[in-house]
Amino acid sequence: MVTAKTVVDLKLEEKYGLFINGEFLEPTNGHIDAINAANGKVLSRIARGGKVEIDLAVKAANNAFKEWSNTPIEERSALLHKVADVLEANQERLKMIECMDTGRPIHEFDLDYKLAIYQFRYFASAILTFEGISRPIQNGHLIVKKEALGVCAQIIPWNVPMIMVSFKLAPALAAGNTVVLKPAEDASLSTIEFAKLLKDVLPKGVLNIVTGYGTEAGQALIDHPDIHKLAFTGSVGVGRLVGKTAGERLLPVTLELGGKAPHIVFPDVDIDRAVENATLGYTFFNGQSCVLGTRLFVHEDIYDEFVEKLIARAKEVKIGDPTDPSTRLSSLINEKQGKRVLGYFDIAREEGAKILYGGNRVTVPGNEHGYFIEPTIIEAESDMRIAQEEIFGPACTVTRWSDIDEVIEMANNVQYGLAAGIMTENLENALNTANKLEAGSVWINQYFNFQSGAPFGGFKDSGVGREYSKEALDHYTQSKTIVVAYQMPPAGFFK
Ligand code: NAD
Q: What percent of the chain is predicted at pLDDT more than 90?
A: 97
> Residue 455 falls within a domain, yes or no?
no
Residues 435 and 351 in one domain: yes
Residues 248 and 304 in one domain: no
pLDDT tens digits along 13-67? 999 999 999 999 999 999 999 999 999 999 999 999 999 999 999 999 999 999 9
Residues 6+ apart with CB under 8 A from 109: 95, 98, 99
Which residue, judged by its Cα, is nearest atom 3 of ligand 1?
235
Residue 236 CA: which ligand 1 atom is closest? Answer: 32
pLDDT tens digits along 441-479? 999 999 999 988 999 999 999 999 999 999 999 999 999
Which residue, judged by its Cα, is nearest atom 13 of ligand 1?
214
Residues 331 and 438 in one domain: yes
Q: Which CATH number belongs to the domain containing residue 381 in this structure?
A: 3.40.309.10
Task: List the one residue out of 165, 39, 200 whose CA is nearest residue 94.
Answer: 165
Give the separation between CA 151 and CA 409, rounded to whole angstroms: 42
Q: Is the pLDDT of residue 5 over 70?
A: no
Give the separation between CA 399 and CA 389, rounded to whole angstroms: 15
Show the domain range for 226: 6-257+462-480
Residues 330 and 439 in one domain: yes
> Residue 486 falls within a domain, yes or no?
no
Which residue among the candidates 185, 290, 390, 438 is catalytic per the annotation? 290
Residues 294 and 253 in one domain: no
Residues 248 and 271 in one domain: no
Residues 234 and 277 in one domain: no
Give the separation between CA 458 and CA 63, rounded to whole angstroms: 34
396 catalytic, yes or no?
A: no
Residues 471 and 406 in one domain: no
Average pLDDT, the chain: 97
Which residue among the candidates 256, 374, 390, 467 is catalytic per the annotation? 256
290 catalytic, yes or no?
A: yes
> Residue 456 falls within a domain, yes or no?
no
Residue 258 CA: which ligand 1 atom is closest? Answer: 34
**How confident is the model at residue 452, as a pLDDT?**
82
Residues 19 and 73 in one domain: yes
pLDDT tens digits along 361-388? 999 999 999 999 999 999 999 999 999 9
**What are the CA-CA distances from residue 474 to residues 126, 176, 240, 251 (Å)?**
12, 12, 22, 14
> Residue 92 falls within a domain, yes or no?
yes
Distance 214 CA to ligand 1 centre (A): 9
Residues 69 and 120 in one domain: yes
Residues 60 and 166 in one domain: yes
Residues 232 and 377 in one domain: no
Q: Is the pLDDT of residue 6 over 70?
A: no
This prediction's pTM = 0.96
**How confident is the model at residue 9, as a pLDDT?**
72
Residue 158 CA: which ligand 1 atom is closest? Answer: 26
Distance 181 CA to ligand 1 centre (A): 13
> Residue 487 falls within a domain, yes or no?
no
> Residue 398 falls within a domain, yes or no?
yes
Give 388: exposed, middle or buried? Use CB within 10 Å, 0-12, 13-18, 19+: middle
The residue to mutate among 238, 244, 460, 469, having the most atoms of ligand 1 within 8 angstroms of its beta carbon, is: 238
CB atoms within 10 A of CB 143: 13
> Residue 1 falls within a domain, yes or no?
no
DSSP code per residue over 98-109: HHHHH---GGGH
- Number of domains present in the structure of the chain: 2
Residue 256 CA: which ligand 1 atom is closest? Answer: 41
